[in-house]
Amino acid sequence: MSDDQSDRRQTFDALFASDPDPWGFEHSEYEATKRHATLAILFPDRFKRALEIGCANGILTAELATICETVLALDVSSEALQLAARRVGTLGNVSLARAEVPREWPDDTFDLIVFSEILYFLSEDEISQVAQLAWKSLTEEGVCLLVNWTGPNDLPLNGAEASEIFTRDLPWLKAADGVWPLYRIDRLHKARGRGEPRAAAGDICDK
């Protein structure tokens, strides 16, 4: 896939226009299990303000809304956002916006930022940029959650590589992770003191 922003928008608009559920979010057992695992790795915390990058048709967005006071959900595709609006439009704590990261990043702070199966659609430089932006936007006690498919894909980067690029230049503390046959979830926090070396991972929960 091209890294050109307008081409990416067109690609995903065409994808969602041809299939409102291109990855089987609604009926796939894999997707349902992954959403359950995503909420489980956040449990029992609740959050005041969440940012979801790449909300697609809003199925995970609706789940996040149950544990967050407010959710800002972004997607590059207007078609996807129309589908998401049908699902979460009646929820008073969810806002939807079309944006393409990293060049269109919200000017706000969040105590939860979620990247669910989105990083490897970006270039290596873009992943580094969104990591920096997420760090700046995340509150000191906030959580950044990475969900990555680890099976083969036809993109320049795979899930493991995307996760490594995201975490390599900043002192993220891996507070917990979960590893399944086809995906992994990493719960990241800011290490104390921005200038400190990367802290050792703690409370690791491999599954």
**For residue range 77-114, what is the model confidence (pLDDT) as tens digits?**
999 999 999 999 999 999 999 999 999 999 999 999 99
pLDDT recorded at residue 6: 66
pLDDT bin (cut points 50, 70, 90) of residue 195 is very low
Quote the CA–CA distance of 22 and 57 in Å, as a whole number: 10
**Residue 112 half-sphere exposure toward CB, CA atoms < 13 A:** 24
- Please state the domain extents for the chain: 5-190
Q: Residue 197: is it exposed, middle or buried by C-beta count within 10 angstroms (0-12/13-18/19+)?
A: exposed
Alpha helices in 109-204 (DSSP H): 124-137, 159-167
The secondary structure element, H or E, covering residue 49 is strand 47-53
pLDDT bin (cut points 50, 70, 90) of residue 177 is confident
Reply yes or no on whether the pLDDT at 198 is more than 50: no
Q: What tokens were used for 129?
A: 């940029």
* pTM over cut 0.85: yes
Q: Is the dihedral of CA 23, 24, 26, 28 positive or negative?
A: negative
Q: What digits encode the pLDDT tens for the residues 115-151?
A: 999 999 999 999 999 999 999 999 999 999 999 999 8
How do 110-116 and 183-190 pair as beta strands? Answer: unpaired
Which of 55-64, 158-167, 175-184 is least confident? 175-184
pLDDT above 70 covers what percent of the chain? 89
Q: Are 34 and 147 in contact (CB under 8 A)?
A: yes
Q: Is the dihedral of CA 166, 97, 151, 39 positive or negative?
A: positive
Quote the CA–CA distance of 163 and 184 in Å, as a whole number: 10
| DSSP letter (8 states) at residue 119 | G
Mean pLDDT over all residues of the chain?
89
Q: Does domain 5-190 have CATH number 3.40.50.150?
A: yes
Reply yes or no on whether the pLDDT at 194 is more than 80: no
